[in-house]
């Protein structure tokens, strides 16, 4: 699981460079430009990824401390 979480972090960093919506002006829900919507999803996914990180890759020595 440790590797999966780090791969997720790496995937987020790569997904951040979204060339696919670069010139797309589509409005999601009629008011959010799709580029902004996509990056908002990146923010929320980052929160979830870091949640997984605190569960699966929190340093073992600090687990004992807490």
Residues that bind other proteins (CB under 8 A): 9, 12-13, 16-19, 21-25, 27, 29-33, 35-36, 39-40, 42-44, 46-47, 50-51, 53-54, 58-59, 62-63, 65-66
Are residues 12 and 49 in contact, defined by beta-carbon separation less than 8 angstroms?
yes
Q: To 10 degrees, what angle do helices 2-16 and 34-56 make? A: 160
3-state DSSP assignment of residue 27:
strand
* Minimum distance, C-beta of residue 65 to other proteins, in the bound complex (Å): 6
Q: Which is nearer to other proteins, 7 or 40 (CB)?
A: 40
């Amino acid at each position: 699981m440790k590797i999966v979480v780090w791969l997720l972090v790496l995937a987020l960093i790569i997904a951040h460079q979204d060339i696919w919506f670069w010139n797309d002006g589509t409005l999601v829900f009629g008011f959010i430009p799709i580029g902004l919507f996509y990056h908002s999803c990146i923010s929320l996914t980052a929160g979830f990824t870091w949640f997984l990180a605190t569960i699966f890759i929190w340093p073992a020595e600090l687990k004992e401390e807490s």
